[in-house]
Structure 1
Amino acid sequence: MFFNPFVPEDKASLAVIDGRADEEIKDNLIGHGLKIIETCRCEELYDSISYHPDIIMHPITPRKVIVAPNVYDYYSDILPFYGIEVIKGEKKLDRNYPDNIAYNVARISRYAIHNTRYTDEKLKYYIKKQGVDFINVNQGYTKCSLAIVSNTAVITSDLSIHKELIKHGIEVLIIKEGNIDLPGLNYGFIGGATGMFSKNELFISGELGHHPNYIEIINFLKKYNVKPIFLSNHKIVDIGSIITF
């Protein structure tokens, strides 16, 4: 069994969340017993993603995380207090794609999914050291694009990622593009609106009732014995994933 940083074996106790997230979301996370770390602004990124956890960090073990050099000092002052080692990545993030995707790597089963041309080299080293293989895709925002449901199943609206994952035995639920808010942009992505509380519980940033694939999503979660936990009564919003430890 390969460690998946986005599928905790037990209930998480800590969540890293966009510092601008709605107070209702933060309060509900705290209500579920989590300590929360609010992200700081990464000044070099454009505003819509400048606080997104999945843009600036990637967990490599339950107690070790790689962080972009831009914001390393902030997290190296906070996360060790919770027993998490912080490693400085090599790639400094910049405003525009592809210079802002180095750490936005998705993980599923024994695979890491990313446009490997732009993956941070230190992150790549640690992932390969675990015996995890890369699946190269054209999409660079792979963690944003993939909601991890189990260690063998994901939800996405990205057809190109779907095409590659099914070749490797991963079950993929395809949903319609859009229908997820991301302030400043036309729409956000399902991966950026979710994060696992435990291997059987999935945090979702808002209500799914408006989503055209609501029924399919709920049934897909049931298939994998995953309970959705809705963190607000508002429309689902991309907050750069909820990264849990």
Structure 2
Amino acid sequence: MICFVDYRITELEKKILKSLDLSILEIPKCNNLYKAIDGHVDIQLNILDKKSKKVIIHKDISKDFKEKLDFFNINYIESSSSLKNAYPDNIFLNALILEDHFVHNLKYTDKNLFSTQSSKNLINVKQGYTKCSCLPVSDKAFITSDIGIYNALKNHGFDILLLPPGDIILEGLDYGFIGGVGGLINKNLMAFYGSLDLYIYGDKVKSFLKKYGVSPIYLMNEKLHDRGSLLVL
């Protein structure tokens, strides 16, 4: 399997990911974005379909990265829009893509992304950093700190753990998003950039994971870091 990570992850984090039989693809720095998120996976890329190994990437990503996708036989399409520094011009790929649902601020969804998802149940939310704000535990269960997303989805059959914001490191900003702190490696294992033992709401997260048979693995023994999600293909 292949995992997409921020180019700034540490050698220790890489070592642990490789021990899980994952090939690492680092998202390169995007000079059009501000420093805190310039390598965030969920800003520059999204997974369209795992079975066919298909992703969408922002149109101006480096040629070297595209060549790596080709090397791993990953199919890709490019965004219609170009990333820019300020909101909302940096959110057009930052959607929550589920099997039967597509969740985003639909006003700002990239048109090439939208065209691949229009047959699903479309759920519009105010929060444009939708994937940043959601940590999926299964296709029907996730964790968020965004009350707007919670209210929009609670009547769609999802099981949602709503947590207060904060206590997540994102260098240069007051705090990061819960959706950016890791991701599912498989249906029974979730990797975290940091330790739930050092997170103020860690016990609640651990209980929610246990409910779905998911075990956490910590890539470093530090507070949780928002690295823009860990996406696995």
Instruction: Calculate the TM-score normalised by the size of structure 1.
Output: 0.91
Out of 180, 188, 196, which is 1:192 matched to? Answer: 180
Out of 100, 122, 130, which is 2:90 matched to? Answer: 100
TM-superposed deviation, 1:87: 1.1
Query: Secondary structure of the equivalent of 2:132?
Result: helix
Out of 117, 120, 126, which is 2:107 matched to? Answer: 117
One-letter amino acid matched to 2:80: E
Identity %: 38
Structure 1 counterpart of 2:164: 176
- Which stretches in structure 2 are left out of the alignment for 5+ residues? none
One-letter amino acid matched to 2:65: Y
Per-residue CA deviations over 1:116-153 (Å, capped at 9, x if unaligned) read 0000000000112xx32221010000100000000110
TM-superposed deviation, 1:212: 2.1
Structure 2 counterpart of 1:5: none
TM-superposed deviation, 1:107: 2.4
One-letter amino acid matched to 1:92: S
Distance change in 2, residues 1:154/1:176 (3 Å)? same
Kindly indicate whether the alpha-carbon contact (under 8 Å) linking 1:75 and 1:86 is maintained by their aligned counterparts in 2.
Answer: no
| Distance (whole Å) between structure 1 residues aligned to residue 90 and residue 116 of structure 2 | 20
| Distance (whole Å) between structure 1 residues aligned to residue 63 and residue 155 of structure 2 | 40
Higher normalized contact order (CA 8 Å, seq sep 6+, divided by chain length)? 1
TM-superposed deviation, 1:72: 5.3
- Which stretches in structure 1 are left out of the alignment for 5+ residues? 1-12
| Dislocated runs of 4+, deviation >3 Å | none
Number of equivalences: 231
| Distance (whole Å) between structure 1 residues aligned to residue 213 and residue 89 of structure 2 | 37
| Distance (whole Å) between structure 2 residues aligned to residue 72 and residue 161 of structure 1 | 32
Kindly indicate whether the alpha-carbon contact (under 8 Å) linking 2:196 and 2:203 is maintained by their aligned counterparts in 1.
Answer: no
One-letter amino acid matched to 1:28: I
2:168 pairs with 1:163: no
Kindly indicate whether the alpha-carbon contact (under 8 Å) linking 1:108 and 1:148 is maintained by their aligned counterparts in 2.
Answer: no
Aligned-residue CA RMSD in angstroms? 1.1
Kindly indicate whether the alpha-carbon contact (under 8 Å) linking 2:198 and 2:222 is maintained by their aligned counterparts in 1.
Answer: no
Structure 2 counterpart of 1:217: 205
Instruction: Calculate the TM-score normalised by the size of structure 2.
Output: 0.96
